[in-house]
Structure 1
């Protein structure tokens, strides 16, 4: 094991391993320290075990950050095509699922093995199962003390992620370290996370297991994907996406019939005057959901007995059904974290702290959070690569 490397990388996740591989192959002696018993644990569970490793539609506007421009530099210099070239060099078969999301045909283990092989090619070492007891900086060196020894290097990379999925070993360690070095932290909150319902909306929990395609909105953000009712509230891709933009106390709007143009219910009355709202909804939605919506709307009888104004009001409610979640399922179920170490503290080109030369932050620890569907992995690859070019 290298005890006097050129760089110490804290965290053997996606960003840390990419940074280690690239820096090592540039001739730097690199040591990765990981607290878990094996590297890449979050990679292994991602994408249902197949790792949604990037997205064909990566663009800066699909990332949340206090500085929406920060991610542009790294994302433009290490692209999905660059990662695909690496995947191809290892003969890893992949497929596009939906919306540009790329998955391994086989197992996420292939991605972890590929990254570890790349680290080995660069002569780097990955030390797992080490608890970090202290980190200090003096005389141009960062000293990392673990439960077994102390390492020192002129460069230190924080790649320990955020607090999402604590059962995988995630914590706020990166933020504690940032504050120790005087770096500001944007308040972290769970993202890509199921939302919970209470009060009048609790009735919808009886629909647990029912899914349907919707438009979900929070503020100016809107996503068209599946929503899933759960025993606690709402989940599914559309809800996970919108959760990153939702703030407690705000409503989210659901369009249950996103393909229907205004006036559709009035037109249905003209074409099928003896149809009921319940029967019409059952043609477009799962039965249990159609029944619940019909009950909540309280419209009985045939459409012919309703005024056009009443039907237009029903259309509006179905196109913008308001839920006010009472919370989310928290970091325990969040795929990623919104917020993190402030981008104002970092160089967008190198990921180096402006006020602490030699200190770098990459991946989820940074206040850059992507959409669901491979965007966060691409940020990990790109930010890790960017830091490696500077170490």
Structure 2
């Protein structure tokens, strides 16, 4: 069987590419249903983009690579598509956009778009071999227990990264890229909870508070959540993309809180109050109890000197922690790293040295922040490849 374009992966990037790649498109996926990561995203409501999406919100060995695709298909373009399909949405926080209904609406929208474009979708189909031919590629598929060969002019790698293997995620795109001589950068779990040994924070499990979490490279002002395994929450997931094993992190438990001034004022009016009782007015009680053993949060307010209060506030402003690791690909939302952008055209997503081979979405070394950015990269890179294929460029 012959197709103009074969897209490997029916996720966000692959479906977007199929909607724009012109006639003769076949999309395949090994899953039972398309868009499985879309379905589970955003608590089932799909954080489909971010109002503030731009190149600064992405990590890559080449910080400039994503600029072209993001500029040519923006968050506003995707919002327009969502609205044309009558999908109601809302902004949650920090520019994050979610469906009012369910993530299945986004999947249905993309399926309607590829149907309109005339693309074919095969599910429960796996690739057993990929070969280069004079006219393009020959791909051997296993479909419902039978093997068949597909020949195509264009081959698009849209199978994502290694994150959430229980949903079938693998490093398949990296294997095909390496087969054709494309370098793959170091890959790591990203947007992932950080762990600590021996259940260090198990007694704090479920406690959440706003913090500033930082290391030597960057910092984020969002919520931190203590878990049985360690720490999670938006601030932790964000920083995990910039963290490396053995490094410590700084937790500011009182960002934008004038705690020193407050404690001094309370010392004058409520001097008989216990220090830990006062701190529990500003921080979760269980956290204050946990910190008491380390920071000696004992005695009355009246007994605390200015120096002691200043030292306490400094300690709460920079609580140093050293994670032992992360929860890994099992719970990572995305994979950091991927197919080297130096091997690809930033305009078309085509491999420079292998005409007809394209890589898009999470498979590429472009990783977004938490909050809809990775979906926007899927839409933008999928659109870039699809329109390039359709135009023959």
TM range (shorter): over 0.9
* Residue 213 (structure 1) aligned to one of 190, 201, 210: 210
Pairs within 5 Å for 1:1-391: 3-24=1-22, 28-147=23-142, 148-198=147-197, 202-261=199-258, 263-264=260-261, 265-266=263-264, 268-270=266-268, 272-391=270-389
Q: CA-to-partner distance for each residue in 1:247-288, whole Å, 9 max, x for gaps?
A: 111111111111224743445545543343312220011211
Aligned residues of 1:73 and 1:349 also touching (Cα < 8 A):
yes
Supply the distance in 1 between the matched residues of 2:273 and 2:348 (Cα, whole angstroms): 63
Q: CA-to-partner distance for each residue in 1:90-147, whole Å, 9 max, x for gaps?
A: 1011111111111111111111111011101111001110111011112131111111
**TM-score of the superposed pair, with normalisation by structure 2:** 0.95
Supply the distance in 2 between the matched residues of 1:56 and 1:155 (Cα, whole angstroms): 33
**Secondary structure at the counterpart of residue 193 of structure 1:** coil
Supply the distance in 2 between the matched residues of 1:349 and 1:382 (Cα, whole angstroms): 10
Aligned residues of 2:200 and 2:230 also touching (Cα < 8 A):
no
Q: Quote how far apart the aligned CAs of 1:220 are.
A: 2.8
**Secondary structure at the counterpart of residue 340 of structure 1:** coil
**Secondary structure at the counterpart of residue 362 of structure 2:** helix
Kindly tell me the number of residue pairs found equivalent between the two proteins.
384
Q: Quote how far apart the aligned CAs of 1:194 are.
A: 0.7
Supply the distance in 1 between the matched residues of 2:282 and 2:293 (Cα, whole angstroms): 16
**Secondary structure at the counterpart of residue 286 of structure 2:** helix
* Structure 1: unaligned runs, 5 residues or longer: none
Aligned residues of 1:11 and 1:32 also touching (Cα < 8 A):
yes
Aligned residues of 1:336 and 1:364 also touching (Cα < 8 A):
yes
**Secondary structure at the counterpart of residue 57 of structure 1:** coil
